[in-house]
Every structure is written in C-alpha cells, then in structure tokens.
Amino acid sequence: MQEMMEKHDQLNRMKRNLDGIKHKIAVLSGKGGVGKTTVAVNVAVLLAKKGYKVGLLDADIDCPNVGKMLGIEETFKMEKEKLMPVERYGMKILSMAFFQGEDKPTIWRGPLIHSAIMQLVEKSDIGDLDYLIIDMAPGTHDSTLTVFQFLDISAAVVVTTPQSLSLLDAKKAALAAMHFNKPVGIVENMAGEIFGSGGGKKLADEMKVPFLGSVDMKKEIASENHIPIVLRDDSMRTGFEGIVENMKGLLK
Ligand SMILES: Nc1ncnc2c1ncn2[C@@H]1O[C@H](COP(=O)(O)OP(=O)(O)O)[C@@H](O)[C@H]1O
Ligand SMILES: [Mg+2]
C-alpha cells in the first residue's frame, strides 16, 4: 500500500513537471545505429535555432549518446534539489550520462530503466517548453512503454535506414506507437549509394502515415566534430528543415 502511494505520488510529480511542455516527440527505431540520436539532436537544434523553447531527453539509458554526440563532458548541477539540465545550442538536455561516474556501460533491468527515465523527468528543472524531443533506445521494450504510457507523448518519429531489414524493424516500432494511438511519421536516414533510397517513403505509404523526409548518408555527419550537422552544412539544414516542418504537421 505504502509503495503504491509512493508510485502514485511520483507519477503526479512527474506529470506536474511535464505540465509546461506543449509537445513531446519521441524519436524511435526498430534497431540501433540507424540514426535516432542524429535525427533527435538535429531536429532539436533546428527548433531551438528558430526560437522555440526546446528540451532534449536522452531516454536511451543503456547507451546515452546525446552527450557524446554534442561533446558534453559536464555533469548535472543541483539547484533547490532539482537537476539542472545541461544547456547547449539553446536546448535543455537531460541524460543519464550526466550523472557522475556513469562512464561504465550500464546494464539495466526493465524496472530500473523505467524508474531511471521517470526520475530524470521528475527530478529535473525542465521548465516550460514548446518541444521536448525524446531520443529513445532501439526497439519496443520497457523504455518505449514507459515513454509512451507515462510521458504521454504527442507524436512519434520513426527512423529507418533504406534497407528492407531495417524497414521491417521500423514497422514494428511504428506499430507500437500506433497501438498507443499516437501520430507517427517516418524519416529515412543514410539514403544514398550504399543502402539505396526510397524504402522509408514506401514504408510510410504502406502504413498510411506521413513520410517526413530523407537524410543522405554523409561522412561529415559521423565525424568527431561535435557541432550538429545542421549548423555546419546548408543542404543538410535545408533537408532537416523540411523534416521539422512535416513533423509539426503530425501535431494537433
Ligand atoms: N546520414 C548519416 N550519414 C553518415 N553517418 C551517419 C548518418 N546518420 C547517422 N550517422 C552515424 O551513424 C552512427 C549511428 O548513428 P546514431 O544517431 O547514433 O544512431 P542510433 O541513435 O539510432 O543508434 C553515428 O556514428 C552517426 O554519426
Ligand atoms: Mg542513439
């Protein structure tokens, strides 16, 4: 009974902490390495650049890569018993990686992942936001459920590479989002000579959901440069701007 009450209180605190967020957008995929973090970071940076209040939640508890991608080495500071998000490019960023001593690989069990995400959200000073972009772990297991159920997301962006295997996995991720009655859009990443292109659009048509756009395979994206590609490549920025506009179309 006591435990149930505590859970209930935690849920209420978390919901209150999310009250000031207009849109929560989860970026997901069927498998790892397809570019979720890349898409989440660049979409968030563009929105912030346009003047929106933006948060970026790294909900990949096992491999929290947002900080790595942006070259963030600092850890959380506490103020009035709240975790202060790390700020970069005008966005407020939350990640498990910002806890001290988190450089070893983490192996979490389902319930722990659930509570880690809940606590990041509940205990942080996230404030009022126009958009919270949520970079998810691959697949559709515990953390996906937590985010869909408890964070009450507004829409899901599914990232896939153009190959058929990735598309099959992406379909599962999209179906999970649809199961929760969330609007879904599809982004194709790493299009080009190596993996081909057009698979993302085909999947979107097949699932009758909007295709948000395609991002080419480009070696500059994978470079160790910690500046997001939309801030250093005009054609990439234009491409991502289209994706952001289409993504807004998912929101009511
Ligand atoms: N369009 C692209 N062109 C080249 N490299 C990319 C592209 N998208 C992502 N990458 C690289 O591929 C790797 C995996 O991307 P990441 O965004 O971390 O995937 P995920 O979050 O789905 O695991 C990273 O090294 C990233 O820099
Ligand atoms: Mg990632």
The residue whose C-alpha atom lies closest to atom 16 belonging to ligand 1 is 35
How do residues 76-89 score in pLDDT, each as one tens digit? Answer: 999 998 999 999 99
CATH number for the domain spanning 29: value is 3.40.50.300
**Over 60: is that where the pLDDT of 144 sits?**
yes
Q: Which residue has the higher pLDDT, 101 or 94?
A: 94
Structural domain harbouring 14: 2-248
Q: What percent of the chain has pLDDT over 70?
A: 97
**Over 60: is that where the pLDDT of 103 sits?**
no
> According to the model, what pLDDT value does residue 188 have?
98
Q: Are 136 and 60 in contact (CB under 8 A)?
A: yes
> According to the model, what pLDDT value does residue 169 have?
93
Check pocket membership of 215 for ligand 1, CB cut-off 6 A.
yes
Rounded Cα distance between 212 and 200, Å, is 9
> According to the model, what pLDDT value does residue 182 have?
93
Listed in sequence order, the residues at least 6 apart from 37 whose beta carbon sits closer than 8 Å to its beta carbon are 58, 60, 65, 66, 69, 135
**How many structural domains compose the chain?**
1
- For residue 32, which ligand has an atom nearest its CA? 1
Mean pLDDT over each residue of the chain, to the nearest integer: 91
How do residues 32-42 score in pLDDT, each as one tens digit? Answer: 999 999 999 99
> According to the model, what pLDDT value does residue 22 have?
96
The residue whose C-alpha atom lies closest to atom 10 belonging to ligand 1 is 222
> According to the model, what pLDDT value does residue 12 have?
85
> According to the model, what pLDDT value does residue 10 have?
80
The sign of the CA dihedral 25, 12, 87, 72 is negative
Listed in sequence order, the residues at least 6 apart from 117 whose beta carbon sits closer than 8 Å to its beta carbon are 59, 61, 143, 146, 147, 151
Ligand 1 atom closest to 219 (CA): 4
Mean pLDDT for 192-210 is 96
Going by pLDDT thresholds of 50, 70 and 90, the confidence category of residue 106 is: low
> According to the model, what pLDDT value does residue 11 have?
81
Going by pLDDT thresholds of 50, 70 and 90, the confidence category of residue 102 is: low
Check pocket membership of 41 for ligand 1, CB cut-off 6 A.
no
Rounded Cα distance between 250 and 228, Å, is 24
The residue whose C-alpha atom lies closest to atom 2 belonging to ligand 1 is 217
Residue 180 burial (C-beta neighbours within 10 Å; 0-12, 13-18, 19+) = middle
Query: Quick one: which of 170, 134, 154, 169 has its CA closest to 250?
Result: 154
State the distance from the centre of ligand 1 to the C-alpha of 155, rounded, in angstroms. Answer: 22
> According to the model, what pLDDT value does residue 83 have?
92
Residue 78 burial (C-beta neighbours within 10 Å; 0-12, 13-18, 19+) = exposed
**Over 70: is that where the pLDDT of 104 sits?**
no
Token pair of 192 as six digits:
């080009």
Query: Quick one: which of 151, 160, 202, 208 has its CA closest to 184?
Result: 208
**HEC string of 172-237?**
HHHHHHHHCCCCEEEEEEEEECCCECCHHHHHHHHHCCCEEEEEECCCCCCCCCCCCHHHCCHHHH
Going by pLDDT thresholds of 50, 70 and 90, the confidence category of residue 149 is: confident
Q: Are 69 and 37 in contact (CB under 8 A)?
A: yes
Mean pLDDT for 233-245 is 97
**Over 90: is that where the pLDDT of 136 sits?**
yes
Check pocket membership of 222 for ligand 1, CB cut-off 6 A.
yes
CA distances from 86 to 32, 119, 147, 155, 252 (A): 25, 16, 21, 24, 29
Of the given ranges (3-12, 66-75, 232-241), which has the lowest mean pLDDT?
A: 3-12
